[in-house]
A and B are shown apart, each in its own frame.
Chain A
Amino acid sequence: MDKKYGVYICEGCGIGESLDIEALKGIPEEEGLPVKTHACLCGPQGVELLKKDIGEKGINTLVIAACSRRVNFDVFRFDGCIVDRVNLREQVVWSHPRSEFPALTAEQKEDDDNFDRVQMLAEDYIKMGMARVEKITLPEPHKLENLSRKILVIGGGITGMSAALDAAKAGYEATIVEKTAQLGGHANHWRKQLPIANPYDRLISPIVGDLVKAVAASPKITVKTNTVVARIAGEPGEFTVSLKKPTEKIEFDVPFPLPDDMKVDASGKELEAEKLHEVYMEYNKGKKDILTLDPDGELYGAVILAAGWRPYAPTDGEFAHLGLGQFADVVTNHQFEELAAKGKITRPSDGKEAKSVVFIQSPGQGNDKDFDFAGSVTSLVALKQAKYVREDFSDGKAFVFYQHMRTPGLSENFYKSIQQDPGIFLTKGEVVAVTQGGGGLMVEADNTLLGEKIKVNADMVVLGTGMVPATADDPVINLAYRQGPGFRDIGLFNGYADSNFICFPYETQRTGIYAAGGVRRSMTAEESIEDASGAASRPFSAWSPSTAGSLSIRVRAT
């Protein structure tokens, strides 16, 4: 573009009072650039002045010396024009008041060794703005050849189904890929579910069946069970996806980057690029390189990662002080749910009715941390399972020992209803030992709300272990990216897919891949449904009609 420059200096908001505007005008004038001033450039007359210069004089490269570029960005946006905003207001006059940085008096001006620091600051910023616009051009939108608006949902549990339904409701086609033979995930194996609607005070029947029906009824949703992602190649807007059966090995399985020790020769020197590629191809024998696109691959625009979680598997000897591995009647919350889903709760050791059950929320041993991968969901699950004991036995008793009882939002109503149950005892406390005794187990707790050691006879003990994200075990998304198939481990997220972008929820370290549900953090079904809506809304905002034809991943001011 042939640049036609114009410099505009606003005198409003204290700029005119603080600075020598005539002197400022000299800066562009010295370079032969036209300069105009206005008392209030962002007002209707000011904007009219700019529009007139653009329309009549063909000015297309504007240096606007006024307020910060973070304000009035829409006022000073002109299609087809380069605009630089010189921040005279926030970063010059407002932050350098004349009370502290006095202007030169007429007398001082006569001595060449005197200078006005604030005036110099403004002059430099105008020069810098002029330098910038000279060196930049207008960005051109990137257009994809085969833009796809289809959404791939990885995982057919509550989160994945909810996300697909939300996408379908918004008019997009979605494909759910589920690695097992049926939709539903963990929710298929629950006895009851935590409340998801008003009055939030009682357990409900699992809603997963309704979701499965809704998915089946939606013409916009394709379901592929017994299927996993072999690789996702390309880029957002036109991902080429290869799918396969879970145990299959195919040539479009994703290759893995070389481990560091294979990138060097025997003497520790880094291999030459071509040799490196050779070793890499050998390491990934039978798999196509990441740059080879699968001719039979299917195009998708975005991916929602809803691969969920697995129950934490304690290692041998872990939680031995709580009797796990030693006594058959000490189980994890996940194992307890399986027992409860089958019918009346009985002790694994002898099949006797489990009328007294202790729920432990923190492994203790000197600190008050909850079990790894736990969260408010594990607090709520303990309350839910305590209720099962009361449902099964009118004389049943449940004891919940916790360091943190987290019942956010309206789940507080559920907590209150549990408090009202005379057969459920809730107390903060540290469980110090689980031993055999009294015809069952003996649980000893310290530092309770009662301020003393207490002992409880129990038929069963349930540990509130956490939910391990699927991404901790496996890349799942299998991206054909040079940096590797999964999210880069930056050592902060325990395998969770969340990128911890404070400002960009649901986005991950990989553009166009949005995470929801148990891969993001441990959460309840209700939270997962909400999370799915959030993640499913992300691709749509990138594909709004205003960006039709070109793909804008995120709209920003610059």
Chain B
Amino acid sequence: MSFPDFFFQRCTQCKRCTAECPFGALDDDAKGTPKPNPTRCRRCGTCMGACPERIIGFADYNIDSVGSMVKAVRVPSEDDYAEPPFRILGLVCENDAYPALDIAGLNRLSYSADVRFVPVRCLGSVNVIWIKDALSQGMDGVFLLGCKHGDDYQCHFVKGSELAEVRMKKIGDALASLALEEERVRQFEVAIDDYHKLPEMINSFVKSVEELGPNPFKGF
């Protein structure tokens, strides 16, 4: 188990973490600074995904660790190959989506080799900076793979996948400011037994990104 650490010097008291924690683990004080209650926490990372200042992280799972994994992906450009392959990032919920991918592999179901998966604790923990990082280093598309939300939700942390969807909608403006198409970022829902649907889900997203063409930031 790990619990979130806060770098309070940079906290702007926006209270998003306090409001969005599915377990009410944070109590803010009179000034609005969050007070963590570690044993209320179930380490989903929703606070980390919520924090606009990116001052919340876990010892073994934080903005830098995931961001560094994203940056470790080699993004080939025309300098490397005449027809460089696309690079797509998949941020995958470890609860159901990641096992579903494993089951797909176990069943020898195949899908595009141009996608790089990073497991996340919950889509609620996805901080939009990772998506911006991926796109600004030239990756062509990003998708989130997580649990169903709504009436028959399956999110282990109640609202994670729903929160992620709200945040993804807001990322549209940021993409527009980079002159990138909104369609380069998508979110998909998958149940643990939906493994047979994954190849089609992944491949059709890859295809849609290929139709948009390569990310113009590639090679910079």
Which residues of A come within 8 Å of B, CB atoms?
68-71, 82, 87, 89-91, 94-97, 100-101, 112-115, 117-118, 120-121, 123-125, 127-128, 130-132, 134-142, 144, 234-238, 273-274, 276-277, 289-291, 479-484, 488, 490, 492, 499-504, 509-512, 551-556, 558
Whether B42 and A554, one on each chain, are in contact in the complex, defined by CB atoms closer than 8 angstroms, is yes
Which chain B residues border A128 with CB–CB below 8 Å?
69, 72-73, 116, 118
Taking a contact as CB atoms closer than 8 A, the residue among B64, B71, B109, B154 that contacts A95 in the complex is B109
The 0/1 profile, CB within 8 Å of A marked 1, for residues 93-110 of chain B is 011001101101110111
CB-CB under 8 A for A511 and B25, given A136-B65, A551-B39: yes
Can you name the residue of chain A whose Cβ is closest to the Cβ of B92?
A91
Whole-angstrom distance between the Cβ of A236 and the nearest chain B Cβ: 4
Whether A273 and B85, one on each chain, are in contact in the complex, defined by CB atoms closer than 8 angstroms, is no
Whether A273 and B32, one on each chain, are in contact in the complex, defined by CB atoms closer than 8 angstroms, is yes
Given A490-B158, A553-B1, A554-B1, 6 other A-B residues pairs in contact with their CB atoms under 8 A: A68-B102, A94-B106, A115-B76, A291-B27, A479-B24, A488-B22
Which chain B residues border A141 with CB–CB below 8 Å?
1
The 0/1 profile, CB within 8 Å of A marked 1, for residues 147-171 of chain B is 0000101101011000000000000
Whether A509 and B83, one on each chain, are in contact in the complex, defined by CB atoms closer than 8 angstroms, is no
Which chain B residues border A123 with CB–CB below 8 Å?
74
Q: Taking the complex as formed, is B8 at the interface, i.e. its CB lies under 8 A from any CB of chain A?
A: no
Which chain B residues border A556 with CB–CB below 8 Å?
1, 43
Can you name the residue of chain A whose Cβ is closest to the Cβ of B85?
A117
CB-CB under 8 A for A492 and B22, given A135-B64, A138-B60: no
Which chain A residues border B176 with CB–CB below 8 Å?
none
Stretch at the interface among B13-21, B47-55, B129-137, B212-220: B13-21
Point out which of B31, B105, B110 has the most chain A C-beta atoms below 10 A from its C-beta: B105
Which residues of B come within 8 Å of A, CB atoms?
1-3, 13, 18-19, 21-32, 35, 37-43, 58-62, 64-66, 68-69, 71-74, 76, 81-83, 85, 94-95, 98-99, 101-102, 104-106, 108-111, 113-114, 116-119, 151, 153-154, 156, 158-159
CB-CB under 8 A for A113 and B82, given A139-B59, A235-B37: yes
Whether A117 and B60, one on each chain, are in contact in the complex, defined by CB atoms closer than 8 angstroms, is no
Whether B65 and A135, one on each chain, are in contact in the complex, defined by CB atoms closer than 8 angstroms, is yes
Taking a contact as CB atoms closer than 8 A, the residue among A90, A289, A511 that contacts B102 in the complex is A90
Q: How far is the CA of A213 from the CA of B129 in the complex (A)?
A: 60
Whole-angstrom distance between the Cβ of A157 and the nearest chain B Cβ: 26
Whether A291 and B21, one on each chain, are in contact in the complex, defined by CB atoms closer than 8 angstroms, is no
Whether A488 and B24, one on each chain, are in contact in the complex, defined by CB atoms closer than 8 angstroms, is yes
Whether B153 and A500, one on each chain, are in contact in the complex, defined by CB atoms closer than 8 angstroms, is yes
Whether B113 and A96, one on each chain, are in contact in the complex, defined by CB atoms closer than 8 angstroms, is yes
Taking a contact as CB atoms closer than 8 A, the residue among B60, B68, B156 that contacts A501 in the complex is B156
Can you name the residue of chain B whose Cβ is closest to the Cβ of A89?
B105
Can you name the residue of chain A whose Cβ is closest to the Cβ of B101?
A91
Whether B105 and A95, one on each chain, are in contact in the complex, defined by CB atoms closer than 8 angstroms, is yes
Q: How far is the CA of A155 from the CA of B117 in the complex (A)?
A: 47
CB-CB under 8 A for A511 and B39, given A123-B74, A128-B69, A481-B27: yes
CB-CB under 8 A for A483 and B19, given A510-B40, A511-B40: yes
Which chain A residues border B116 with CB–CB below 8 Å?
121, 124-125, 128
Whole-angstrom distance between the Cβ of A366 and the nearest chain B Cβ: 22
Whether A94 and B24, one on each chain, are in contact in the complex, defined by CB atoms closer than 8 angstroms, is no
Whether B30 and A130, one on each chain, are in contact in the complex, defined by CB atoms closer than 8 angstroms, is no
Which chain A residues border B102 with CB–CB below 8 Å?
68, 70-71, 87, 90-91
Taking a contact as CB atoms closer than 8 A, the residue among A112, A120, A234, A558 that contacts B74 in the complex is A120
Which chain B residues border A118 with CB–CB below 8 Å?
113
Can you name the residue of chain A whose Cβ is closest to the Cβ of B28?
A482
Main secondary structure, interface of A, reads loop
Whether A509 and B158, one on each chain, are in contact in the complex, defined by CB atoms closer than 8 angstroms, is yes
Q: How far is the CA of A120 from the CA of B81 in the complex (A)?
A: 13
Enumerate the 3 nearest inter-chain pairs by beta-carbon distance, A residue then B residue, closest first. Answer: A90-B105, A139-B2, A117-B113
Whether B62 and A236, one on each chain, are in contact in the complex, defined by CB atoms closer than 8 angstroms, is no
Whether A131 and B69, one on each chain, are in contact in the complex, defined by CB atoms closer than 8 angstroms, is yes
Whether A97 and B31, one on each chain, are in contact in the complex, defined by CB atoms closer than 8 angstroms, is no
Whether B65 and A132, one on each chain, are in contact in the complex, defined by CB atoms closer than 8 angstroms, is yes
Taking a contact as CB atoms closer than 8 A, the residue among A115, A291, A509 that contacts B81 in the complex is A115
Which chain A residues border B61 with CB–CB below 8 Å?
136, 558
Point out which of A479, A483, A500 has the most chain B C-beta atoms below 10 A from its C-beta: A483
Whether B60 and A558, one on each chain, are in contact in the complex, defined by CB atoms closer than 8 angstroms, is yes
Which chain A residues border B13 with CB–CB below 8 Å?
273
Q: How far is the CA of A274 from the CA of B32 in the complex (A)?
A: 8
Which chain A residues border B111 with CB–CB below 8 Å?
95-96
Q: How far is the CA of A135 from the CA of B64 in the complex (A)?
A: 7
Can you name the residue of chain B whose Cβ is closest to the Cβ of A122?
B113
Can you name the residue of chain B whose Cβ is closest to the Cβ of A507?
B42
CB-CB under 8 A for A136 and B158, given A141-B1, A509-B24, A551-B39: no
Q: How far is the CA of A2 from the CA of B91 in the complex (A)?
A: 30
Taking a contact as CB atoms closer than 8 A, the residue among A70, A131, A480, A483 that contacts B71 in the complex is A131
Whether B59 and A94, one on each chain, are in contact in the complex, defined by CB atoms closer than 8 angstroms, is no
Whether A121 and B113, one on each chain, are in contact in the complex, defined by CB atoms closer than 8 angstroms, is yes
Point out which of A96, A136, A512 has the most chain B C-beta atoms below 10 A from its C-beta: A136
Whether A483 and B110, one on each chain, are in contact in the complex, defined by CB atoms closer than 8 angstroms, is no
Which chain B residues border A136 with CB–CB below 8 Å?
59-62, 65
Point out which of B23, B42, B58, B153 has the most chain A C-beta atoms below 10 A from its C-beta: B23
Which chain A residues border B23 with CB–CB below 8 Å?
509-511
Which chain A residues border B119 with CB–CB below 8 Å?
69
CB-CB under 8 A for A142 and B31, given A127-B74, A131-B72, A135-B62: no
Whether B40 and A235, one on each chain, are in contact in the complex, defined by CB atoms closer than 8 angstroms, is yes
Can you name the residue of chain A whose Cβ is closest to the Cβ of B36?
A235
Q: How far is the CA of A135 from the CA of B74 in the complex (A)?
A: 18
Q: How far is the CA of A100 from the CA of B105 in the complex (A)?
A: 14
Q: How far is the CA of A509 from the CA of B105 in the complex (A)?
A: 34
Whole-angstrom distance between the Cβ of B166 and the nearest chain A Cβ: 14
Taking a contact as CB atoms closer than 8 A, the residue among A131, A483, A499 that contacts B21 in the complex is A483
Which chain B residues border A484 with CB–CB below 8 Å?
24
Can you name the residue of chain A whose Cβ is closest to the Cβ of B119?
A69
Which chain B residues border A554 with CB–CB below 8 Å?
1, 42
Whole-angstrom distance between the Cβ of A274 and the nearest chain B Cβ: 6
Whether B59 and A140, one on each chain, are in contact in the complex, defined by CB atoms closer than 8 angstroms, is yes
Which chain A residues border B68 with CB–CB below 8 Å?
131-132, 134-135
Q: List 27 A-B contacts (CB under 8 A).
A: A68-B105, A90-B105, A91-B117, A96-B110, A97-B108, A115-B76, A120-B74, A124-B116, A128-B73, A136-B61, A136-B65, A142-B38, A234-B37, A237-B39, A274-B30, A274-B31, A277-B30, A289-B30, A481-B40, A482-B26, A482-B28, A483-B21, A490-B158, A509-B24, A511-B42, A512-B39, A556-B1
